[in-house]
Each structure stands twice: as structure tokens, then as C-alpha cells.
A = this chain, B = another copy of it.
Amino acid sequence: MTDLRFSRDDLAALARTMLTRAGLDRDMAEVVAEFLVRTDELGVTTHGVSMVPYYLPELASGRMTASGRHEVVRDNRVTMVWDGNYLPGHWLMSQALDICMDRAREFGMTALAIRRSHHIGCLSTLTRIAADQGFVCYIATSDPSGKWVAPYGGTEPVFTPNPWAVGYPADGHPVLIDTCSSITTVSKVREHIGNGTRFEHPWMLDAEGRPTNDPAVVNAEPKGSILPVGGMDHGHKGYSMGLMIEMLTQALAGHGRAEAPTRWGGNVFVQMIDPDAFGGFEPFLREVAALNEACRSSRPIPGRPPVRVPGDRAHETVTRSQSDGVSLPEEVWTRVAASAAELGVRLCTPIGR
């Protein structure tokens, strides 16, 4: 399948119109659409406008709240807790980033735990906003309604994949780390199930505790799971990371698996650091530059491309998106187009068609 290219404004307008047509408040739809397009610009097309068809039924059923505000549960200046009331995650995160950057300017560091957000999308899209303004931004998220990853040594899933990301300034373009505590993600599992394909490696565990590359074990009864980072070999390391992220996002937010929510949602932990409140911005950049240079110049494994620093590929993709338009896989466009047709929203036209 080939990719199609679009003007960013066309795509943003399309996403915005679809979301407002489904009932989302206009200001929120504006922010969500903008963040989704930024995600496609980064090349993370699994989490860009391709999410709109998943958000529409959430809006229709009221499981994604379409207007109103979050509740400030706690504001201790340096630390904060919000209840997101299942509002769109991008919209909540847009405000979270603004207040966290303000507080980090004032105190040097701040953190906010959010309970009951809806899906916050691609973490790099968010950390990049703060890194571009000179901050170190850490974001982790979990969904206390989801069970996909088993603790190391167990077979019954307990955790979500628990993504975490950190973005920070560097020479040229920011470093954008965006990963998770399981080997693979729920999106990838669904993609393989949809395509009828298997993983290249045994990244799943069936309910009998046997590693397998078959994604369909998650639909079996009893249910299989996704292996934590490190797999059968050293999965206690991914298990540790998963535990920490559930603690940061749920225990600090005071809401999580103890309440056994059943609604698609996201708990979030955002931490913002101003390097100027530590050893200084220039020394920070100097150390990051030395480290990045050492990584990029490490002799590659024979036959492999040069070593990259996380964020290098995103930078190339953003540059190309800006010059040539935003690229979407045909499969994504087909799904978005079908949703738009259902809503009676007029499609935009790919560039050069």
C-alpha cells in the first residue's frame, strides 16, 4: 500500500469538522485536531487522525466528555492532581503542559497527576511542545480499565503497556524518547490480528505461560498477555517499569485499579523540569551534545544503519511533512474517509490527486 500526502490545514480542518459534528465542543475539537495532525507530522500515523474513527463512538455514547472542564483536586503549587472527567486527552494535556511550564519556570520543577482523562494520544507530540521551549518533560500514562501485560512470572494480565516518554532540548532538534514497559503495544497486537499476521518474535505469552508470536492469544479464554520489556529472559526489568508507571499515574492520582473502572480512559503523570533550575541550560546542552555525539558515532553493527538518537527520525519526518505535506497510509485514509462519509463530512483531497 502507498502513502497519500495532505496539506496539514486540510487534515486539521477535516478532523475538527468530524469531531464537532460528533458533538465535541469547538475549542476542544480545534486542539484535538491540531495535536492529531502534529502526530501525523511526526510520522506516528497510528496515533494521528487515524484515531478520529475511534473517538467518534466514544463521543456519541458520552464516554468521551464533549464539553466542560476538569476538576482541580489538589493544587500544592509544585504538585497538582486533576480529575479529567474523561474529557479529550489532547485538550487536557494542552492545558496541563501550559500550567506545568509556568510552574516549572517559577519553581524549577513541577508534576501533575491526572485521573480519568480520555486517551492522550502520542506522548512525543506532547513532550516535543515542552522540549521546544527548553524544558525536560516526562509523561507516563496507564489505563486502569485495561489488562494486557502480566507481571513477570505470572500469566494473568494486570497492567496496560504503560507508555512513558521524555523529551528534552538538544543541539538542532530535541531528543524524543517514547516507549513503554511492554515489548509491544495493544495497537500492534490489534494490527497483527486484523492483518492475520504474527509477530516476528515471541512477544506474547499464552495463558499457560508459553511464549508465542501469536497475537490472538489475547482473545483466547483464558486470556494471554503481552510480555513485559525483557521478555522471558529478563522481564523483571519491564515488570518493574510497569509497576512504577502504575504507581505514578494511579497511586499519586488517588484513583486507579482499586476503583476497577471499566471505561476507556487514561491516568497521566506529567513532570516538567527547567534545566536552568539545576546546573544551567548551557551546561545541559553541552552534556546532551557530548552524549548524543558518542551514540551517533558508535560504530554500527555490520549491516545496520548508523546509530540514531531518539527524535532523529521524527525530525526528518517533520521536515519532510513541512515541505511535502503530511503522509498517511492508505489504510488509515480509507478508515477516516468511511467515518467522514457516515457523518456526511466532505473529504479533503490528497496532494497531487
For chain A residues 229-266, which have a beta carbon within 8 Å of chain B?
229-231, 233-234, 236-238, 240-241, 243-244, 246-247, 250-258
Inter-chain contact A300/B233, CB cutoff 8 Å: no
Tally of this chain's copies: 2
CB of A209 closer than 8 Å to a CB of B: yes
Q: Which of B73, B77, B168 contacts A279 (CB 8 A)?
A: B73
* A39 CB to nearest chain B CB (Å): 19
Q: Which of B81, B183, B209 contacts A302 (CB 8 A)?
A: B209
A67 at the interface (CB under 8 A from B): no
Quick check: is A150 within 8 A (CB to CB) of the other chain?
A: yes
Q: Are A244 and B177 in contact (CB under 8 A)?
A: yes
User: Which single residue of chain B is at the shortest CB-CB distance from A269?
Assistant: B278
Closest chain B CB from A85 CB (angstroms): 16
List chain B residues, Cβ under 8 A from A230.
183, 229-230
Inter-chain CA distance A73–B283, complex, in Å, is 13
Q: Enumerate A127-168 residues with CB–CB distance to B below 8 Å.
A: 136, 150-158, 166, 168
Q: A158–B309 Cα gap in the complex (Å)?
A: 13
8 Å CB contacts to B: which residues of A284-308?
284-291, 294-295, 297-302, 304-308
Asked whether any CB of chain B lies closer than 8 Å to the CB of A343, the reply is: no
Q: Are A308 and B277 in contact (CB under 8 A)?
A: no
Cβ-based interface call for A60 (8 A): no
Chain B residues near A201 (CB-CB < 8 A): 233
User: Which residue of the partner chain, among B180, B243, B280, contacts A295 with CB atoms under 8 Å?
Assistant: B243
Given the known interface contacts A107-B78, A309-B243, the answer about A291 and B153 at a Cβ–Cβ threshold of 8 Å is no
A153 and B275 in contact (CB under 8 A), knowing A258-B287, A291-B246? no
Measured between alpha carbons, how far is A229 from B183 in the docked complex, in Å? 11
Q: Which residues does chain B contribute within 8 Å of A251, judged by CB atoms?
A: 168, 275, 279, 283-285, 287-288, 291
- Any B CB within 8 A of the CB of A329: no
Task: Report whether B209 and A301 are in contact in the complex, using a CB–CB cutoff of 8 Å.
Answer: yes
1/0 per residue, CB under 8 A from B, across A198-234: the answer is 0001010100110000000000000000000111011
Q: Which residues of B contact A183 (CB under 8 A)?
A: 230, 233-234, 237
A113 within 8 A of B: yes
Inter-chain contact A310/B243, CB cutoff 8 Å? yes
In angstroms, Cα B309 to Cα A234, docked, is 15
Interface of A toward B, CB cutoff 8 Å? 73-74, 76-79, 81, 107-111, 113, 115, 136, 150-158, 166, 168, 175, 177, 179-180, 183, 201, 203, 205, 208-209, 229-231, 233-234, 236-238, 240-241, 243-244, 246-247, 250-258, 273-275, 277-280, 283-291, 294-295, 297-302, 304-310
Could you list 29 examples of A-B contacts with CB < 8 Å? A73-B279, A74-B277, A74-B279, A78-B109, A78-B277, A79-B274, A111-B278, A152-B307, A153-B300, A153-B307, A155-B298, A155-B299, A158-B294, A177-B240, A179-B237, A205-B301, A229-B229, A229-B237, A231-B233, A231-B234, A247-B288, A247-B291, A251-B279, A252-B275, A252-B278, A253-B279, A254-B278, A254-B283, A257-B287
6 residue pairs, one from A and one from B, having the closest CB atoms:
A254-B279, A154-B298, A209-B301, A254-B283, A79-B108, A258-B290
